[in-house]
Every structure is written in structure tokens, then in C-alpha cells.
């Protein structure tokens, strides 16, 4: 294990061995299980820039998300996609590389929708900055988005820049029996639902509203259901699921034992899904295969010509 | 080249293979009318299979191609290549699927932006990205440029609404990434493809996320004595914790032009007008509008005009969206610039632009997405005047350098295209540009997909004039 403390040391670390991979808090061990020298990003930690007036911050890859959430909270801001396993110590680099978002991704989008820029070391050992530091930028290819979910296979992330939003004044959680019609109806309603999940078992649906408390009370009455403690979302966020699948609403009945998030678009489970990705345990990384195109190898070759990092199949 | 034309003739009927100069004329330039090139031919496929066959033929013959939607690019993105072909995608204009339960639409690339929202409207849904050219520009063009609009602050740009892409790459390979789900596994290929400016290949089918239409809007127009006061009001709104759908500013010259063009009425004696729009359930908007009105009242406006009904709201947006074309009518020629600065430095940026305007003796109008720090200065000049074009371009270049120096970007939504190629090295290091070149080469190893765009060092095409897009002259579209 190499533990670089600066971006220059991170670059040296990448060049120090023929096969390397970055790890954060290793909260998701399966995703970095390849046989390689591990580069821990943990000492590479700290918020490097935070401008509340810009709705942006930059942080080194090893920064615990917990720290970021606390700093944002002080200024009344937040990352709306509910990063997961925060209390277990997830790092911001790990969140980006694993591309996992929590229930809050329903309203404004996930990690990919909030990342603005990235500094990373490619397989040639070059420290590169792509994307930008402002909320809007269309210059050059959108490599920051590509890094989301890339599992450390194309480069090591050193620093990321994110967009943030003002934190809603309050939240309100309702619980009600699940039906896919009701879910579709709420998802396409005037209420601007903040999160919409189904608990394992497929019986109970959770609805979160966010905004001014006085308005939410009125909306909640109209929506109906039973008022529930908002801490339920913390439990969902901190649960170490073993598998993740991307689904659509019409497949929801095949995922009855899973926790279904984001209005029926994601399933987290402890039993292998028919098709999906392994987060922990010994199962193959990809379950039920994944689409493969020649361009994937060509892009890998472009960013990592010497195969310093494992491939998506390792 | 006759072999290329012969081979194309084998793929398409003669009426969809345009080679005569009169037929090619309409395709010689895009919204950046300063540049003009006559292509070898224009092909007009009607199916995705035809597009794939054409791209594979181009690959085989090393024949350059430029995909084209409606040709409204403002950076020369759809400018043809003299020795290559234009692939016009307007006839691939089918909405293949609209699923209200999943809240998605699957469309062909030639579908016009507003058509998606029109098709979704009966289900209470809409497609959020709203470039001012939305009544004419295509989803394919939006994907290639990651286009924005007035409502990016809350819901983001085109890329934030793309769930799936089927494309034919510059290698001839056909790929399909993502699909109906809002989540995905593994690297974000759709994210990488969006904003590629036509250098990776051609999007054939695009899955779009649709959002419920907001139930209620609260749109306020506030007039100020100075631009700086309007800028300060933006900072106050941002600091308040509200998240408006849009925050826009127009300066005096833009107001004058909009008044003349669409009879928009603004508070008299204002140097700047600010537009702020809240949206959401009426119970939420009722509470937030009180806060917004209090913040704006405290920002010393000359006058505040909340829209009282849908009609008044539309009138505010009509004035805003017509402003650019309206300014264009004040001058024989103009350059529209697109740059981004950190929001807190907007006031400083506008001051410096005003100074540059004084120095160069060229008038400039500002209409911009203040909430995003996305400036759109419009530099007015008369091309018949000796050296005027050169001075205007110089001015535009100085604005871009200022954006970089302030930590912003050389483009917020119009892309690099031909126009800003030479500024790429001001924003990125040689290694970073090399990394992007390597990516381009992976998707498009022969360099046949939209060559000469985005990267510096390519041969400069010929300059003619700068001004209104032909469709703007005809009053079909207007710009921001
Ligand atoms: C058991 C488990 C279950 C989870 N379940 C869920 C879930 O149900 N839903 C959900 O949304 N999220 C889930 N997560 C996601 C979790 O919140 C984030 O993925 C986590 O924050 C990753 O951060 P980390 O620092 O622990 O990364 P690690 O576990 O150390 O690494 C994760 C991956 O990212 C790569 N990586 C890490 N840092 C870098 C870097 N600097 N540069 C490049 N690559 C890097 C690693 O190589 C590895 O492939 C789960 C995580 C775990 C551990
Ligand atoms: C009056 C006016 C107002 C405007 N307002 C805005 C605005 O508010 N916000 C904004 O962001 N932009 C704006 N624009 C710029 C322009 O409208 C956008 O860039 C738009 O997305 C271009 O769409 P198009 O169909 O005209 O594309 P084209 O101009 O035809 O093409 C643009 C680029 O996309 C490529 N392309 C086209 N189709 C495909 C495809 N299927 N696959 C791959 N590549 C493809 C082309 O090769 C070219 O590089 C405005 C332009 C005008 C003239």
C-alpha cells in the first residue's frame, strides 16, 4: 500500500509499479479487489476550495464525505444526491469512482449530475485537470462525467469539483403501501417529490418531500399515507448492500426482495440480481454480463496504454 | 472524388444526394455565419441504417463528414469540410417512444427540441433544456454541444437529461449505452459522448428524461439604475438559500433593442433588468415568493413587476428571448460571445467589458444567464468599416481571456467549434489537450468525423460576414 499525501506524490505513486489501483476507505472492497499495488488516497485529504456564493467546492480525493457534508451544512448547502456509507468513512474519490448515489438522486440527479471537474493521474502518469470549476462549462470533452462509475480503471482521481445546492428548510417523510401505479403517479405529480423508494419486501413505499415546512404539511395531507421518522433515510444510506442493479419501473416486481430507490430506477440487494454489479463479496464484478463495445478497449488504450490500472473485467 | 459520389449514389436516391451548387448553398455555414465552406455533397438519410451505411462508407474511403441538425451552432460546429460531405439529419425526426410511467422519450436526432415538450405535454411532462433556439435546433445538435438555456440553474444542461444514446462512431462501430433507467452501471459513456461536438460520431437514437411540468411559477422583473445593483441582487438571491429556476439579466442596450423589436415594456430609466423565476407546487411558491420579494425590495430596484398571470410571464420571457436578435437589428454586424465567470465576479467582469467597449469604440450589449455566471456579450460593429471585424474579434478574444483569468470558462453552452479552437490552450495544458486528442482518436481514428473543430492548429476556413442567422433575419428564431 502506498499512501501519497500530495498530488505530486500521487503521480509518483502511479508510476512506481506496473499495476496499481486507488482505494479510498475500502468501504466497497469488491470494486478494488484486483491483484495490484494499492494506492490509498486517505492522506490526500481536505477541502481545497469552497465558495458558497458559487454553489461549488473542490476537495482532494481522500476527503471523507462526512467532512464535506459538515462543511456544506455550516453554510446551509448540501449534495442533493445523498452520498452513501458516509458514516463508514466513504471518500469523495470513492463516491465518484463507484458512481453510487443515494435516494436523493431522484429529484435533481446523481453524482454525474453534480460533478463539474476532475484532476486525475492517467496511465501515463500525467496529472490532468478536465472539466471546470464553475457551474456551467462546455469546453472540451466531459471527462469528469466519464470518471463517475469508472471504478479506478482509467486513472486515479486526485481532486474533484462539485456543484452544490442550498439545503431545503425541512423534509417530511411519508410511508404508504406500494403500487407501481401510485409510484408513477407521484413521480409525475405537482409535488416535486424529493425521494421515492420501496423497502425490501415490495410492500412499503417511502416518499420524501423537501422545502418550507409549512407548505410540506399541506402537501403531505394531500398525498396521504402515514408520517414517518426521516431517520429511515439514514438507515438506507448507511446499509452495506452487496449488489446494485439499474432498472426501470416495469421491472420492479422482479426486485421484491431488494431496496428499490430513485422512483424505481435502482435496486440495492444482498441477493444477486439477474443483471447488475457487485459491491461486496466474491461474486464477479458484473452479473449477467454487460454491454461490450470495441470502443471501450480503445478508450482504455487512450487513457492507460500500458494497462497500469486493471480493466473493468478484473 | 467521383468514386465517393458514385458510392454514395449507390446508397441513396438522387434526390437525397445533393451536389449542385444551388442545393449546397443552404448548407455552407451555420449560425456562425462568418465562416462559409461548400462541401463536396450533402446527403439526406431518412433512416438510422442509412446513416450507419454512410458513416461506414466514409470510414472506408477516409471521407470527412459533418453531421448537421438545423445548423444553428454559433461556434461553427456544423461548418462543412470542402473535401467532405454533410450528413443532414433533419429527416430522422421521429419520436420513437414516449413512456409517461417511466417519464422518458426515445427520439431520433433530427427531432426539434420543442417537439419533445409538445409531445410530452398531454402527460403533464416536459423536456427541461430550453436553448433560445429551441423551436428550431435538434436534439442531435443539443447532444453534440451539451446545450443549455435559461433554466440551467436548477435542472442543468442537456447532459443532465440524457439517459441513453445509440450512436455510430467514427470507426463505424454502432454502440448503445444506457437506456430507460435513470441510474447506470460502470463508466458514464453517455456523459462522455454528450458534448463531443460531432468529433466522436453521430447520435442515432437518444433517450431523454422528462420532468413533470411545474404547477406554478412566480416570475419577477426588477429594474435597476445600474448593472452593478442588478448583480448585487443576484448575489442576495443566491445567498438567501432560494433555488430559482432562472436568474437572467439584460442591460440598457438590450432593453432598448427588445423594446424596439417586440414592444417589450420596461421600467423607464433603468440601466439593467433582472428576471428571477421560482417554480414548484403553489404552496411552496407562495412561501418562497414572499422571501424573494423581500430580498428584491431590499436591493433598491427602481421598480418591481411580478407577472400577475401566465400571459404576463410569457411577455417577460418573450422580451428576454428576443433580446439578442433584437440587438442584432441595431447593427449591420455583430459577434455573440459565450463565456463563464464565477458568479461573485459578474460585476467586475461587466465593468471590464464596458471598459473594453470604451477602448475599442465598439458598442456591446449584455444579455446573460446571471445565475450561472454565463455571459453573452454581443459586440456590435460595421463590417464595411476598415479593420472593424478585426477589432471586434480582438475584443471578443479579450473577453474570453478575462473569463479564463477569473477562473471561469471559454464556453458555457455554445461549444468550441471553429470559433474558439485557438483558445483551448489558454484553458488546458498541452497534456490535457493531448489526453482529449487521444480520446478523439479512439472514437474517430481517421479524423473523419467533423475535422478541424475544437482543437487548435487546424487550417482556418474563409471568413465572410458576421451577423444574424438567416433564420433570425426571417424572424423564425431568436437567440439568447
Ligand atoms: C458494501 C458497500 C455497499 C454499498 N452500497 C451502496 C449502496 O447500496 N448504494 C449506494 O449508493 N452506494 C453504496 N455504496 C457506495 C459508497 O457510499 C461509495 O461507493 C463509497 O463511498 C466508496 O468510497 P470509498 O472511499 O469507500 O471507496 P472504495 O471502496 O475504497 O473504492 C471504491 C472504488 O472506487 C475506486 N476508487 C476509490 N478512490 C479512487 C480514486 N481516488 N481514484 C480512482 N478510483 C478510486 C476504487 O478503485 C474502487 O473501484 C456502498 C459501498 C459499500 C462499501
Ligand atoms: C438564435 C440562436 C439562439 C441560440 N440560443 C442558444 C441557447 O440559448 N443555448 C445554447 O446552448 N445554444 C444556443 N444556440 C446555439 C445552437 O442553437 C445550439 O448549439 C444547438 O444545440 C444546435 O443545434 P442544431 O440542430 O442547429 O445543430 P447544428 O448546428 O446542425 O450542429 C451543431 C453540432 O452538432 C453536431 N451534430 C448535429 N447533429 C448531430 C448528431 N445527431 N450526432 C452528432 N453530432 C451532431 C454538428 O456536427 C455540429 O458540430 C443558439 C443559436 C441561435 C442561432
Comparing CA positions, the residue from A281, A242, A272, A211 lying closest to residue A100 is: A242
Residue A109 has pLDDT above 70, yes or no: yes
CB contact under 8 A, A212 and B341: no
Q: Are B353 and B400 in contact (CB under 8 A)?
A: no
CATH number for the domain spanning B225: value is: 3.30.70.2190
Determine whether A8 is exposed, middle or buried from the number of CB atoms within 10 Å of its CB (0-12, 13-18, 19+).
Answer: exposed
pLDDT in the model for residue B473: 54
- Tell me the ligand closest to B29's alpha carbon: 2
Asked whether residue B117 falls in the same domain as residue B207, the answer is: yes
Q: Are B65 and B43 in contact (CB under 8 A)?
A: no
Question: Is residue A220 in a domain?
Answer: yes
Strand partners, A156: A121
Asked whether residue B229 falls in the same domain as residue B317, the answer is: yes
Asked whether residue B223 falls in the same domain as residue B205, the answer is: no
Question: Is residue A113 in a domain?
Answer: yes
Asked whether residue A64 falls in the same domain as residue A179, the answer is: no
Asked whether residue A117 falls in the same domain as residue A213, the answer is: no
pLDDT in the model for residue B36: 85
Question: Is residue A285 in a domain?
Answer: no
Q: Is A134 helix (H, G, I), strand (E, B) or coil?
A: coil
Asked whether residue A12 falls in the same domain as residue A98, the answer is: yes
Question: Is residue A313 in a domain?
Answer: no
DSSP A27-53: SSGGGG-SSSEEEE-TTS--EEEEEGG
What is the pLDDT averaged over residues A113-135?
96
Q: Are A234 and A222 in contact (CB under 8 A)?
A: no
Residue of A nearest to B345 (CA): A54
What stretches of chain A show up as alpha helix (H) in DSSP? Answer: 7-15, 65-74, 92-98, 105-108, 111-114, 143-147, 180-187, 213-223, 232-238, 294-303
Asked whether residue A144 falls in the same domain as residue A16, the answer is: yes
Strand partners, B109: none
pLDDT in the model for residue A97: 95
Question: Is residue B457 in a domain?
Answer: no
Describe the crossing of helices B252-262 and B310-328 by its angle, rounded to 10 degrees.
110
Residue of A nearest to B150 (CA): A136
Q: Give the three cell numbers for residue B124.
A: 403533464
Distance from CA of A212 to the nearest CA of B (A): 7
Question: Is residue A82 in a domain?
Answer: yes
CB atoms within 10 A of CB A185: 11
Q: Which of A216-220, A307-311, B147-151, B366-370 has the highest mean pLDDT?
A: A216-220
Q: Give the three cell numbers for residue B398.
A: 479579450
User: How far is Cα B298 from Cα B278, in angstroms, rounded to an integer?
Assistant: 18
List C-alpha distances in Å: A86 to A33, A99, A149, A296, B282: 21, 14, 17, 31, 34
List C-alpha distances in Å: B420 to A180, A279, B401: 49, 43, 11
Number of domains in chain B: 4
Residue nearest to atom 11 of ligand 2 (CA): B147
Question: Is residue B159 in a domain?
Answer: yes
| Chain B stretch 358-377, residues whose beta carbon is closer than 8 A to a beta carbon of chain A | 369, 372-374
Asked whether residue B392 falls in the same domain as residue B418, the answer is: yes
Residue A29 has pLDDT above 70, yes or no: no
Question: Is residue B448 in a domain?
Answer: no
pLDDT in the model for residue A33: 60
Task: Count Cβ–Cβ pairs < 8 Å, chain A vs chain B.
Answer: 262
Is any atom of ligand 1 closer than 6 Å to the C-beta of A154? no
CATH number for the domain spanning A34: value is: 3.30.465.10
Asked whether residue B225 falls in the same domain as residue B318, the answer is: yes
pLDDT in the model for residue A147: 97
Q: Is B454 helix (H, G, I), strand (E, B) or coil?
A: coil
User: How far is Cα B89 from Cα A171, in angstroms, rounded to an integer?
Assistant: 46
Give B378 Cα–ligand 1 centroid separation in angstroms: 46
Asked whether residue A37 falls in the same domain as residue A136, the answer is: yes
Comparing CA positions, the residue from B315, B356, B319 lying closest to residue B335 is: B356
Question: Is residue B476 in a domain?
Answer: no
Is any atom of ligand 1 closer than 6 Å to the C-beta of A28? yes
* Span of A55-59, A279-283, B303-307 with lowest mean pLDDT: A279-283
Comparing CA positions, the residue from B454, B55, B445 lying closest to residue A295 is: B445
CB contact under 8 A, A215 and B287: yes
Asked whether residue A92 falls in the same domain as residue A27, the answer is: yes
Between strands B65-68 and B85-88, the pairing is parallel
Distance from CA of A53 to the nearest CA of B (A): 6
* Interface confidence (ipTM) of the complex: 0.96
Contacts of A87 (CB under 8 A, 6+ apart): A66, A238
pLDDT in the model for residue A30: 64
Q: Are B276 and B296 in contact (CB under 8 A)?
A: yes
CA angle A263, A264, A266 (to 5 degrees): 110
Question: Is residue A239 in a domain?
Answer: yes
pLDDT in the model for residue B464: 43
Residue keyed to cell 438522387: B14
Q: Give the three cell numbers for residue B167.
A: 450512436
User: How far is Cα B102 from Cα A104, in angstroms, rounded to an integer?
Assistant: 18
CATH number for the domain spanning B109: value is: 3.30.465.10
- Residue B389: which domain range? 331-443
Asked whether residue B244 falls in the same domain as residue B309, the answer is: yes
CB contact under 8 A, B175 and A295: yes
Number of residues that make up chain B: 480
User: How far is Cα B160 from Cα B127, in angstroms, rounded to an integer?
Assistant: 11
Q: Sign of the C-alpha dihedral, residues B417, B418, B423, B429?
A: positive
Between strands B125-126 and B211-212, the pairing is antiparallel
Q: Sign of the C-alpha dihedral, residues B257, B263, B266, B268?
A: positive
CA angle B65, B67, B69 (to 5 degrees): 155
Q: Give the three cell numbers for residue A92.
A: 469523495
Residue B8: in which H helix or E strand, if any? helix B2-11
List C-alpha distances in Å: B274 to A18, B279, B311, B323, B401: 57, 17, 19, 13, 26
Asked whether residue B152 falls in the same domain as residue B77, the answer is: no
Give residue-wise pLDDT tens across range A35-52: 688 999 999 999 999 999
Asked whether residue B233 falls in the same domain as residue B322, the answer is: yes
Asked whether residue A140 falls in the same domain as residue A26, the answer is: yes
Question: Is residue B449 in a domain?
Answer: no
Residue nearest to atom 36 of ligand 2 (CA): B141
Determine whether B79 is exposed, middle or buried from the number of CB atoms within 10 Å of its CB (0-12, 13-18, 19+).
Answer: buried
Residue A283: in which H helix or E strand, if any? none
B171 touches chain A (CB under 8 A): yes
CATH number for the domain spanning B407: value is: 3.30.70.2740
Question: Is residue A283 in a domain?
Answer: no
Asked whether residue A212 falls in the same domain as residue A267, the answer is: yes
pLDDT in the model for residue B294: 97
Asked whether residue B282 falls in the same domain as residue B351, the answer is: no
Q: What is the mean pLDDT of each run of 10 residues along chain B (480 residues)?
A: 88 96 88 84 98 98 97 90 96 98 97 98 97 93 94 93 98 96 95 97 98 96 94 92 95 91 86 96 97 96 95 92 83 90 91 94 93 93 89 94 95 92 94 97 97 79 49 52
Half-sphere exposure of A295 (CA within 13 A, CB side): 26
pLDDT in the model for residue B461: 44
Asked whether residue A270 falls in the same domain as residue A122, the answer is: no
Residue B58: in which H helix or E strand, if any? helix B48-61
| Chain B stretch 64-103, residues whose beta carbon is closer than 8 A to a beta carbon of chain A | 100-103
Residue, of A281 and A31, whose pLDDT is higher? A281
| Chain B stretch 175-194, residues whose beta carbon is closer than 8 A to a beta carbon of chain A | 175-177, 179-189, 191-192, 194
What is the pLDDT averaged over residues A281-295?
90
Asked whether residue A104 falls in the same domain as residue A211, the answer is: no
Mean pLDDT score across all residues of chain A: 94
| Chain A stretch 120-179, residues whose beta carbon is closer than 8 A to a beta carbon of chain B | 122, 126, 128-130, 132-143, 145-151, 153-154, 165-167, 169
Question: Is residue B37 in a domain?
Answer: yes
Number of domains in chain A: 2
Comparing CA positions, the residue from A25, A151, A128 lying closest to residue B428 is: A128
Ligand 2 cavity residues, CB under 6 Å: B 30-31, 66-74, 77-78, 89, 109, 131-133, 137-138, 140-142, 144-145, 147-149, 197-198, 202-203, 413-414, 450, 469, 472, 477-480
- Tell me the ligand closest to B418's alpha carbon: 2
Q: Is B193 helix (H, G, I), strand (E, B) or coil?
A: helix
CB atoms within 10 A of CB A293: 16
User: How far is Cα B24 from Cα B357, in angstroms, rounded to an integer?
Assistant: 38
**Domain boundary residue among B90, B106, B139?**
B90
Asked whether residue B336 falls in the same domain as residue B434, the answer is: yes
Cα distance from N-terminal residue to C-terminal residue, chain A: 19
Asked whether residue A157 falls in the same domain as residue A175, the answer is: no
Asked whether residue A113 falls in the same domain as residue A188, the answer is: no
- What is residue B28's DSSP assignment? S
User: How far is Cα B75 from Cα B454, in angstroms, rounded to an integer?
Assistant: 10
Residue keyed to cell 478574444: B397
Mutate to test the interface with A, among B55, B104, B125, B192 (most CBs of A within 10 A): B192
Asked whether residue B221 falls in the same domain as residue B203, the answer is: no
- Residue A190: which domain range? 170-278
**Domain boundary residue among B304, B326, B348?**
B326
Asked whether residue B99 falls in the same domain as residue B70, the answer is: no
Q: Are A110 and B314 in contact (CB under 8 A)?
A: no
Residue nearest to atom 41 of ligand 2 (CA): B140
CA B221, chain centre distance (Å): 24
Question: Is residue A32 in a domain?
Answer: yes
CB contact under 8 A, B439 and A149: no
CA angle B254, B255, B261 (to 5 degrees): 85
pLDDT in the model for residue A86: 93
- pLDDT confidence tier of residue A98, bands split at 50, 70 and 90: very high
- Mark A248-272 as b/e (b = at least 16 C-beta within 10 Å): bbebbeebeebbbbbbbbbbbbeeb
Amino acid at each position: 500500500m502506498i499512501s501519497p499525501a500530495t498530488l505530486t506524490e500521487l503521480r509518483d505513486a502511479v508510476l512506481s509499479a506496473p499495476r496499481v489501483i486507488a482505494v479510498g476507505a475500502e468501504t466497497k472492497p469488491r470494486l478494488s479487489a484486483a491483484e495490484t499495488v494499492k494506492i490509498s488516497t486517505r492522506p490526500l485529504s481536505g477541502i481545497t476550495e469552497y465558495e458558497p456564493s458559487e454553489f461549488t467546492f473542490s476537495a482532494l480525493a481522500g476527503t471523507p464525505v462526512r467532512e464535506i457534508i459538515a462543511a456544506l451544512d455550516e453554510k446551509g448547502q448540501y449534495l442533493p444526491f445523498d452520498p452513501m456509507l458516509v458514516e463508514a468513512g466513504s471518500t469523495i474519490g470513492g463516491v465518484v469512482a463507484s458512481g453510487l448515489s443515494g435516494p436523493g438522486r431522484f429529484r435533481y440527479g446523481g453524482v454525474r449530475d453534480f460533478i463539474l471537474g476532475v484532476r486525475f493521474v492517467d496511465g501515463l502518469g500525467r496529472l490532468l485537470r478536465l472539466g471546470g470549476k464553475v457551474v456551467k462549462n462546455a469546453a472540451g470533452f466531459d471527462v469528469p462525467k466519464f470518471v463517475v462509475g469508472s471504478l479506478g480503471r482509467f486513472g486515479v482521481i486526485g481532486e474533484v469539483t462539485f456543484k452544490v445546492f442550498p439545503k431545503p428548510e425541512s423534509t417530511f417523510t411519508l410511508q404508504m403501501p406500494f403500487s407501481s401505479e401510485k409510484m408513477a403517479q407521484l413521480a409525475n405529480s405537482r409535488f416535486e417529490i424529493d425521494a421515492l423508494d420501496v423497502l425490501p419486501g415490495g410492500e412499503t413505499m417511502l416518499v420524501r418531500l423537501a422545502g418550507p415546512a409549512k407548505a410540506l404539511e399541506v402537501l403531505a395531507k394531500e398525498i396521504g399515507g402515514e408520517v414517518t421518522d426521516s431517520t429511515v433515510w439514514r438507515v438506507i444510506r448507511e446499509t452495506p448492500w452487496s449488489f446494485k442493479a439499474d432498472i426501470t419501473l416495469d421491472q420492479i416486481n422482479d426486485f421484491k426482495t431488494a431496496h428499490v430507490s430513485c422512483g424505481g430506477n435502482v435496486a440495492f440487494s444482498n441477493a444477486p440480481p439477474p443483471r447488475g454489479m457487485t459491491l461486496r463479496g466474491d461474486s464477479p464484478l458484473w452479473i449477467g454480463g454487460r454491454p461490450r463495445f470495441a470502443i471501450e478497449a480503445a478508450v482504455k488504450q487512450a487513457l492507460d496504454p500500458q494497462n497500469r490500472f486493471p480493466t473493468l473485467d478484473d | 472524388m467521383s468514386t465517393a459520389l458514385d458510392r454514395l449514389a449507390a446508397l441513396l436516391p438522387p434526390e437525397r444526394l445533393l451536389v449542385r451548387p444551388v442545393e449546397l448553398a443552404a448548407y455552407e455555414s451555420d449560425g456562425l455565419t462568418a465562416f462559409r465552406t461548400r462541401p463536396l455533397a450533402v446527403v439526406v438519410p431518412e433512416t438510422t441504417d442509412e446513416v450507419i451505411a454512410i458513416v461506414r462508407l466514409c470510414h472506408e474511403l477516409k471521407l470527412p463528414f459533418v453531421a448537421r441538425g438545423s445548423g444553428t451552432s454559433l461556434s461553427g460546429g456544423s461548418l462543412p469540410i470542402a473535401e467532405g460531405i454533410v450528413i443532414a439529419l433533419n429527416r430522422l425526426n421521429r419520436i420513437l417512444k414516449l413512456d409517461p410511467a417511466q417519464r422518458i422519450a426515445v427520439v431520433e436526432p433530427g427531432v426539434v427540441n420543442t417537439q419533445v415538450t409538445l409531445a410530452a405535454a398531454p402527460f403533464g411532462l416536459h423536456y427541461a433544456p430550453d436553448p433560445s433556439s429551441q423551436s428550431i435546433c435538434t436534439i442531435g445538435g443539443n447532444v453534440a454541444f451539451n446545450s443549455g438555456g435559461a433554466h440551467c440553474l436548477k435542472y442543468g444542461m442537456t447532459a443532465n437529461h440524457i439517459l441513453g444514446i445509440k450512436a455510430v462512431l467514427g470507426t463505424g462501430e454502432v454502440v448503445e449505452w444506457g437506456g430507460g433507467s435513470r441510474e447506470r452501471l460502470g463508466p458514464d459513456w453517455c456523459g462522455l459522448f454528450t458534448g463531443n461536438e460531432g468529433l466522436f460520431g453521430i447520435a442515432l437514437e437518444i433517450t431523454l428524461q422528462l420532468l413533470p411540468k411545474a404547477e406554478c411559477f412566480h416570475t419577477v422583473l426588477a429594474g435597476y439604475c445600474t448593472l452593478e445593483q442588478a448583480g448585487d441582487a443576484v448575489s442576495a438571491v443566491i445567498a438567501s438559500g432560494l433555488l430559482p429556476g432562472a436568474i437572467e439579466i439584460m442591460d440598457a442596450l438590450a432593453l432598448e433593442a427588445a423594446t424596439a423589436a417586440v414592444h417589450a415594456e420596461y421600467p423607464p430609466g433603468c440601466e439593467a433588468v433582472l428576471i428571477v423565476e421560482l417554480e414548484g407546487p403553489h404552496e411552496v411558491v407562495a412561501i418562497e415568493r414572499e422571501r424573494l420579494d423581500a430580498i428584491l425590495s431590499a436591493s433598491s430596484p427602481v421598480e418591481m413587476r411580478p407577472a400577475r398571470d401566465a400571459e404576463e410571464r410569457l411577455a417577460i420571457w418573450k422580451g428576454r428571448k428576443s433580446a439578442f436578435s433584437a440587438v442584432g437589428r441595431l447593427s449591420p454586424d455583430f459577434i455573440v460571445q459565450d463565456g463563464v465567470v464565477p458568479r461573485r465576479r459578474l460585476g467586475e467582469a461587466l465593468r471590464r467589458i464596458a471598459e473594453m467597449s470604451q477602448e475599442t469604440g465598439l458598442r456591446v450589449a449584455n444579455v446573460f444567464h446571471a445565475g450561472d455566471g454565463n455571459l453573452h456579450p454581443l459586440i456590435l460593429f460595421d463590417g464595411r468599416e476598415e479593420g472593424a471585424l478585426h477589432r471586434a474579434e480582438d475584443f471578443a478574444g479579450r473577453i474570453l481571456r478575462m473569463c479564463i483569468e477569473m477562473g471561469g470558462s471559454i464556453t458555457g453552452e455554445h461549444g468550441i467549434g471553429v470559433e474558439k479552437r485557438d483558445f483551448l490552450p489558454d484553458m488546458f495544458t498541452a497534456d490535457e489537450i493531448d489526453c482529449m486528442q487521444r480520446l478523439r482518436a479512439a472514437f474517430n481514428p481517421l479524423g473523419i468525423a467533423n475535422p478541424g473543430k475544437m482543437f487548435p492548429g487546424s487550417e482556418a476556413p474563409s471568413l465572410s460576414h458576421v451577423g444574424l442567422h438567416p433564420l433570425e433575419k426571417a424572424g423564425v428564431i431568436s437567440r439568447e
